[in-house]
Structure formats: C-alpha cells, structure tokens
C-alpha cells in the first residue's frame, strides 16, 4: 500500500489539514492518509499543548468518513518525545511492504535540517511538502537545496490556498468567541461545548469540569496510564454524544443539557474505576458487597469490573445517581432497555469507540461514531453487533443477553425510535 503519514500537534485540526490530506491522496495515488497526532511534540514538549483527549476528540470529529483519511495512534503507544524518525522506523518494521509518504508543511521544509535524525526520515519516506504561501519562488529554491542534501526525498504537494494555522485559530477563538470558518462543524461545536481555547463551556458548567478533574486525579492513582486515557476518552466522547442528542431535541444551553452532560461525563470517567483490581480482588469485592451476577455473565471474567465498578463508584467516589451507576455497571454488555436510559446508551457506545481505542472493529470506528452522533440507538446496535463479532473472533464466550439486546435495538430502529 501507498500510505501517507501526516503528523503534527493538531491543536486544533482544521479544514486546511483535511485539504492537504485529500490533495496528497489525489496527487500521489495514496491508498490512505493516516492523521498521526504527536503525544509529546518535539518542538513543544507539551508546553501549552491542549490535553491529549481533546486533541484526539477533535480529530475524530473532523475526519471525513469513507475517504481513507484516518486517525492513527502510533505515537501514543510509545513513551518519550514523538520523533518522526522513530515513528517511521517502527512503521517500516510493522509494514515492510508498504511505501510511506510523510506530509509536512512549507515551514517544516525550512526547519527540516534541525529535526531529530533527518537523514533517517528522508531514507524511510518520500516527503511531501504542502505549499502555503502565494510566492513560491523562495520555496522552489529551498526545495532544490533540500533535495540536493537528502537524495531527492522531497516532492511538492499543491494544495488549494488556505492561509490558516492552528495557532491563529486558537487566538481568534479566544478573542472573538465565535465559530471559526476553518474548523469542521463538529470540531467547532466540541470546542464550545467544553470550553477550549478560552471559550465559556456551553454544554456543561465550569464547576462540573472542575469536579471531573478532581475525580480524574483520584482515578489516576488506582489505574494504569493507558486505562486513565481510555477513561478520559469515554468521558468526553459520551458527554459529547449526549450534548449532540440533546441539541437535536432543542435543549442547547438549557439547565437540563448541563445536568445530563455532567452526569454522562462523570459516569464515562468512572466506568472502569474497578479496573485497578485484579480478577481475584474483583470477585472478592463482589462477594463482599453481595453482588450476584447472572449465570450468563459468571463465566466471562473480563466484564465483571462493570458490576464491581457500580459499587465502587458509590463507595469510593460518592456517586449516588442511579442512572450514572447503571451506566457504569452496564457499560460492557449493555441492558435490554438501555435505549430508555441515555446516559447508559452514551457510555456503552463511547466505551467501544472513544479515540484512544486501537482495535479495528467491523464496521470501523468512524462509521460507528458518525452513526451514533446522528442516532444513539443505531450507534448502540452497531456497537453491539461489532462486540459480538469481536468476541467471536477472539474465541470468547458471548452473553446470551447480548443477542437479545441486539435484537431489541434492531426492533426499536425499525419502529423509528432512534
């Protein structure tokens, strides 16, 4: 395959980035372009960079579905600074038959000689340079110089002129508080819902975001860094789903929206709070609190943390709301009537599709995410079906109840209850 790699901070991703990815596919016949956010950008070292979960959420919301432009988490798999030379080396080891094209901007062409191991980068990929300026004479001269230095590794990538940068977008949003024309609509909505770049959050109160941060700090002391990232992903994906559904009902900016988004955010964060316990500890905890599992679920140890988390969320984190506890307890396998419980529905979908997830379901994540934003029941049906497919593929037991849940969701879709 011919694979484009487009790295960067993407803080935020904007329509100029999408235009570059599309141009690379078209002009160089690429099979796909993988948008690869840096976990720790070499030039920024996390200073002033928006939190990972928000950057990944914004990318997942911005990418077009079905065009072969996809989110890639390779640089989130490794510790330390996200050096391009290390990333390309790893990709070559994993996919030795693929041909890689690394996409950079015009500014990066000038700075390329200062990058970590630039000769390694040039030896592992054809480097496509997207031109942003209207005066290309200086660019052409520099392109000749770099090709002389690095054995002709660079190619010009012609992109419809869009003089925009993420830095400028952040500044303009902070100043005007207005929607930005260079952002995908769903990315822009996400920024405003959760108060990024100096905006006042529209879908949730600041006090709720503060409470989320306090609980995330407590959770960080009990689960792995990987699990914490997943939990944050579920928190904001489920909260964003809830906000989207409520806005479709005309509840944007209402107290009801803020209440339900807050509950969903916290339930999503704590859905895996029992994952800090091993299997024996989980079974002992369930026994101590007199939690009886169905015969259907007992053999499937991998989902016992859901019922355990329902209890732990109440005992350790002070959660008393029954809908939040229900969502935490049922996030793995759902329930037969979860369509009537929107917090549970949102967390169930987000647990499978949040942007830190690195498995590849059928259908792919972007399809499920896009469907769920439009129709929660349709999204949950897809997740249920994909979960059954996945469990079959790995040879795991499948709760009989999950088949019944899937059938019920299909029935509700036929009746137009999405």
Say if residues 103 and 20 touch (Cβ distance below 8 Å): yes
pLDDT bin (cut points 50, 70, 90) of residue 299 is confident
- pLDDT value at residue 161: 66
- pLDDT value at residue 226: 94
pLDDT bin (cut points 50, 70, 90) of residue 134 is low
- Output the six-digit token pair for 399: 């709760």
**The 3-state secondary structure of 61-111, one letter per residue:** HHCCCCCCEEECCHHHCCCCCCCHHHHHHHHHHHCCCCEEEEEEEHHHHHH
198 pLDDT above the threshold of 80:
yes
In order of start, what are the domains of the chain with their CATH numbers?
2-170 (3.40.50.620), 201-414 (1.10.3210.10)
Say if residues 242 and 60 touch (Cβ distance below 8 Å): no
Share of residues in the chain with pLDDT > 70 (%): 97
Residues 6+ apart with CB under 8 A from 67: 22, 25
Give residue-wise pLDDT tens across range 352-376. Answer: 999 998 777 778 899 999 999 999 9
Least confident of 32-46, 63-77, 97-111, 395-409: 32-46
Question: CA-to-CA distance for 78 and 58, rounded, in angstroms?
Answer: 21
- pLDDT value at residue 137: 82
pLDDT bin (cut points 50, 70, 90) of residue 343 is very high
Centre a 10 Å sphere on the Cβ of residue 127 and count the other Cβ atoms it contains. Answer: 25
- pLDDT value at residue 260: 98
- pLDDT value at residue 281: 96
7 pLDDT above the threshold of 90:
yes
Share of residues in the chain with pLDDT > 90 (%): 82
Give residue-wise pLDDT tens across range 268-278. Answer: 999 999 999 99
136 pLDDT above the threshold of 80:
no
Give residue-wise pLDDT tens across range 316-332. Answer: 999 999 999 999 999 99
Closest to 244 (Cα-Cα) out of 180, 188, 177: 188
- pLDDT value at residue 251: 96
Residues 6+ apart with CB under 8 A from 89: 120, 124
Mean pLDDT on 41-53: 80
256 pLDDT above the threshold of 60:
yes
Closest to 169 (Cα-Cα) out of 12, 21, 18, 60: 12
- pLDDT value at residue 44: 64
129 pLDDT above the threshold of 60:
yes
Least confident of 34-43, 279-288, 402-411: 34-43
Centre a 10 Å sphere on the Cβ of residue 198 and count the other Cβ atoms it contains. Answer: 13
Name the region of 319 (left: φ>0; alpha: ψ -120 to 50; beta: rest): beta
Q: What is the β-pairing status of strands 2-8 and 99-105?
A: parallel
Say if residues 150 and 122 touch (Cβ distance below 8 Å): yes
pLDDT bin (cut points 50, 70, 90) of residue 48 is confident
Q: Which residue has the higher pLDDT, 161 or 70?
A: 70
Mean pLDDT on 216-233: 96
pTM score, whole prediction: 0.95
Q: Which residue has the higher pLDDT, 80 or 206?
A: 206
Residues 195, 198, 201: CA angle, nearest 5 degrees? 20
Q: Is 186 helix (H, G, I), strand (E, B) or coil?
A: helix
Q: Which residue has the higher pLDDT, 202 or 363?
A: 202
- pLDDT value at residue 300: 83
Mean pLDDT on 11-19: 95
Say if residues 399 and 300 touch (Cβ distance below 8 Å): yes
Give residue-wise pLDDT tens across range 91-126. Answer: 999 999 999 999 999 889 999 999 999 999 999 999
46 pLDDT above the threshold of 60:
no
pLDDT bin (cut points 50, 70, 90) of residue 214 is very high
Centre a 10 Å sphere on the Cβ of residue 305 and count the other Cβ atoms it contains. Answer: 25
Q: What is the average pLDDT score of the chain?
A: 93
- pLDDT value at residue 392: 85
């Amino acid at each position: 395959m011919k694979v484009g790699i487009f790295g960067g901070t993407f803080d935020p991703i904007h329509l100029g980035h999408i235009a570059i990815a599309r141009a690379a596919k078209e002009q160089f016949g690429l099979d796909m372009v993988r948008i690869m956010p840096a976990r720790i950008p070499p030039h920024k070292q996390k200073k002033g960079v928006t939190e990972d979960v928000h950057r990944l959420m914004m990318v997942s919301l911005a990418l077009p579905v079905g065009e072969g432009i996809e989110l890639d988490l390779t640089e989130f798999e490794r510790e330390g600074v996200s050096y391009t030379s290390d990333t390309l080396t790893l990709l070559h080891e994993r996919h030795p038959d693929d041909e890689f094209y690394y996409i950079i901007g015009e500014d990066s062409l000038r700075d390329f000689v200062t990058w970590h191991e630039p000769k390694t980068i040039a030896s592992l990929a054809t480097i496509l340079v997207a031109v942003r300026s209207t005066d290309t004479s200086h660019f052409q001269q520099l392109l000749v110089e770099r090709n002389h230095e690095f054995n002709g590794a660079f190619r010009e990538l012609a992109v419809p002129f869009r003089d925009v940068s993420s830095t400028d977008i952040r500044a303009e949003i902070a100043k005007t508080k207005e929607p930005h024309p260079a952002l995908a609509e769903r990315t822009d909505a996400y920024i405003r819902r959760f108060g990024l770049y100096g905006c006042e959050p529209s879908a949730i109160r600041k006090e709720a975001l503060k409470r989320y941060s306090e609980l995330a700090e407590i959770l960080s002391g009990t689960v792995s860094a990987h699990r914490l990232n997943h939990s944050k992903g579920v928190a904001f994906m489920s909260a964003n789903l809830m906000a989207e559904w409520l806005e479709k009902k005309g509840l944007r900016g209402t107290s009801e929206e803020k209440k339900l988004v807050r509950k969903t955010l916290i339930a999503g964060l704590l859905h895996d709070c029992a994952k800090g316990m091993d299997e024996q500890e989980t079974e002992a905890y369930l026994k101590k609190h007199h939690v009886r599992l169905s015969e259907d679920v007992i053999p499937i140890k991998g989902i016992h943390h859901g019922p355990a988390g329902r209890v732990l969320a109440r005992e350790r984190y002070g959660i008393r709301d029954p809908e939040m506890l229900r969502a935490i307890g049922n996030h793995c396998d759902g329930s037969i009537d979860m369509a009537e419980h929107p917090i549970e529905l949102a967390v169930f979908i987000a647990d499978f599709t949040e942007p830190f997830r690195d498995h590849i379901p059928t259908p792919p994540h972007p399809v499920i995410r896009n469907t769920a934003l439009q129709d929660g029941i349709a999204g949950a049906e897809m997740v249920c079906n994909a979960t059954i497919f996945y469990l079959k593929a790995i040879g795991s037991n499948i709760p009989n109840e999950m088949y019944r849940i899937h059938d019920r969701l299909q029935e509700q879709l036929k009746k137009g209850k999405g």
